[in-house]
Structure 1
Amino acid sequence: MSKTIYNLFAFIGIILSVLLSVQSVVVADSSRLENNSVASDSAFNLRWGDLTPAQRKVLKPFSDKWPDLSLQRKQKLLKGVQRWQHMSPAERKQARKRLKRWSKMNPEQRQRVRERYQRFKNLSPDEQKAIRSKMRWFRGLPEGKRRALRERWQRMTPQQRERFKRRVMERQQRRHEILKNMTPSERKRLRSMSRPERRDFLRRRNAGQHR
């Protein structure tokens, strides 16, 4: 397998692990709870009829079970509505897709997604930034290419996937070390390069560090 194809599949593994969770609207059901003005005792007793029309429209899938939801669950859903109202049409389209996929998952699958989301949140800011960058790259690919990459990834064994992801993270760490040791002028020059030029430049710097 060529290095280019390796890079594609290695990043696809990470992308697919967090794609269902990162930037989701209503289904970002992670274990971390961030308190804000919505978090109050009254939220637990908030009736469905007390919500605004806009809130009820977004939360319609939860209308039947709203009275039984916990304080934390209601808080997360209301926060999701706030994010939804600030999204662009394209972002809302992506969120609807995620919600549809989430609704089809069984409890075990949802738990795995939550765990992956938590692992993503535990990454360093640089690692999170790199993954988000690759997510944008993946979404920009033609649908046929995305489908082909997903199918190839799904045919890999769990051991192969873990090896790919581990090697990718190691390479990202080396890249971070290179960037940390560069001067401001070198970083500026790097930003002005094309993607192939940046890749070659970083490869040469990495080779120089290991001589």
Structure 2
Amino acid sequence: MKILVVEDDEQMGSLIERGLTAEGYEVRRVASGMDALIAVAHEDFNLAAIDVMLPQMSGFELCRRIRETGITMPVLLLTARDTVEDRVFGLDSGADDYLTKPFAFAELTARVRALLRRQSMGAQLTLELGNVVLDSRDLRVSVSGHTVAVSPKEFALLRLLCGRAGGVVDRTTILEEIWDGTSHIDPNIVDQYISYLRRKIDSTLAGIRIVTVRGTGYSVELTE
């Protein structure tokens, strides 16, 4: 597995590189967003760990530009900025997860393993429900044959709910499955992403609807 580390702090970057290498990963480390864009244009990576506070181009912007190229590898943002707004902005930029500094290296490697595992499992699945098709290889959602633009997190959330259609998925499960835990992120982010999906997925055309189960979580049901 090959990981791209984008970190301009030499000490932090070296620490992450040595640690991931010791875990058996092949690591390519760069110090700027432009160098990262050049790297992803010429090399294949299984995952990118990107510091948000980069010179000239922020990690948010770098993530957005990587997604614009069509690259769907998991992206883990690393940052000392831990407000809900920052986390939501990072996830909306196309990141798959968000780790706040300072962090224990064991947590970083656990997040990396979880993202790689999810990517490996998702790449094998195409899920169809109602008039919705979820293509996990390209993170593509189509409704009645028309592509609907969604972020990686929106896709993962919709896939989780559709994969358990007819049952209730509680908030804790959603946070653990999609955001890899409940301790580092505001639970209200679940409501925000459900709202995003409802605005994008027309239940009449999709043949499914996302139902709120008060006090518990959410469920996807087929419409008549």
TM over 0.5: no
Bigger share in helix: 1
Larger radius of gyration: 1
Normalised by the size of structure 1, how large is the TM-score? 0.28
Bigger share in strand: 2
Normalised by the size of structure 2, how large is the TM-score? 0.27
Greater relative contact order structure (CA < 8 Å, 6+ sep): 1
